[in-house]
Structure 1
Amino acid sequence: MLIRSLTLATLLAFVGPLFAADDDSPLVKDVGRARPLIVIAPSSVDPVWVNLKKSLEDPANKQGVAQRNIKVYSVLNMFGQLDGKDLGQQDTMALIRSLNLGAGALPKVILLGKDGEKKIESSGAESKSVDLKKIFDTIDQLPAAEKEATVPTPAPVAEVAPVKGVKGAKGKPAKPAKPPEQPDE
């Protein structure tokens, strides 16, 4: 029995990360609700991040970000934030995994639509040309169907009335069956 347990534990330790769900990414919650803008930079003084952050702090741009339902994710030196609030390390890694970016030390700017598809993706020197005006223009040029995309709300579950006349419908619950005994190996 001990050998089986150790074998199972070892197998799960190696295979478990392979079965990690893609839906653990914080981006899953935004599909149909918001447009994630993801900025990945090697440090907090990277020019790409500094320029975007400065323009995000402008009051006129704040209003434009709110109107277009943009959520700003930043991953700076492997520490993630969502709209200035820290993400946990697991959420940050799940965010990076879900983008399928591969390795690289260059800054990246990615805009996802409400449908979850990449609308802007730039890396390296190309990222320096991405500013909020370009992001706003890209969103404003999207088709109306994407602009109004929302997540469908699930239908309410109707309660099932108990069936009368069925034996065992009322009364005490049955005792659980005793598990069969396993011989020790």
Structure 2
Amino acid sequence: MLVRSLTLATLLAVASPLFAADSDAPLAKELGKARPLVIIAPSSADPTLRAVNKAFEDPATQAAFKERGLVLFSVAQMMGKRDDKNLEQQTTMALIRELKLGASKGTKVILVGKDGERHMLKDDDTGDALDPQVIIKAVDDLPATEKALKAPEPVAAAPQEGAKESKPGKPAKPAKPAAPPKPLDD
């Protein structure tokens, strides 16, 4: 009994970080599907954040962003948003951890390609606004291999090799139930 408990505890200790890393990584969910544009600002009144949000309101710029597959992630005062929808605090912190930026005072604008490659567009505390055309140009300047990248296709289950084919129009014979497990001796 003690051996089983120790084995279970060891398995849980090894597997827990793997499950935690999978569940709350917002950039990993976008991999191959979209290009996340991440803006980390000290406050919601930051000129760069306001300029990009205002650009998203303009239909022409919004269409250009959608055409290029951009998804806007913004973090201001530890409050995160994805395309103007609030993120949970845990998801916001996972986004910051996933970028591995370190501490700084200024605004950061990071473009993440479909392949996961990060491109720093702005990293300063001057307070200058970032023109949305700079973002569009940065996406257009990405390598052709990144632009051709598509989302991974889900793998279809392969048919079992040993399964017998039934005649057309005749229902398949139900499988025999598995034998009950034998009790363990301690």
2:182 alignment counterpart: 177
| Counterpart-to-counterpart distance in 2, 1:72 and 1:124 | 19
* 1:8-157 equivalences in 2 (<5 Å): 20-21=20-21, 24-125=24-125, 128=128, 130-157=130-157
Query: Conserved in 1, the CA contact under 8 Å of 2:51 and 2:129?
Result: no
| Counterpart-to-counterpart distance in 2, 1:177 and 1:30 | 46
Count how many residue pairs are aligned between Structure 1 and Structure 2: 171
Task: Give the match's secondary structure for 1:29.
Answer: helix
2:167 alignment counterpart: none
Deviation at 1:26, TM superposition (A): 0.9
Task: Give the match's secondary structure for 2:32.
Answer: coil
Tell me the C-alpha RMSD between the 2 structures.
3.1
Identity %: 43
| Counterpart-to-counterpart distance in 2, 1:35 and 1:159 | 35
TM-score for both structures, normalised by structure 1: 0.77
| Counterpart-to-counterpart distance in 2, 1:75 and 1:51 | 14
Structure 2 CA distance for partners of 1:29 and 1:160, relative to 1, 3 Å = same
AA aligned to 2:106 is L
Structure 1: runs of 5 or more not aligned: none
Structure 2: runs of 5 or more not aligned: 165-173
Deviation at 1:128, TM superposition (A): 2.9
TM-score for both structures, normalised by structure 2: 0.76
Deviation at 1:126, TM superposition (A): 6.1
Task: Give the match's secondary structure for 1:128.
Answer: coil
Query: Conserved in 2, the CA contact under 8 Å of 1:22 and 1:94?
Result: no
Deviation at 1:31, TM superposition (A): 1.3
Structure 2 CA distance for partners of 1:47 and 1:135, relative to 1, 3 Å = same
Deviation at 1:161, TM superposition (A): 5.2
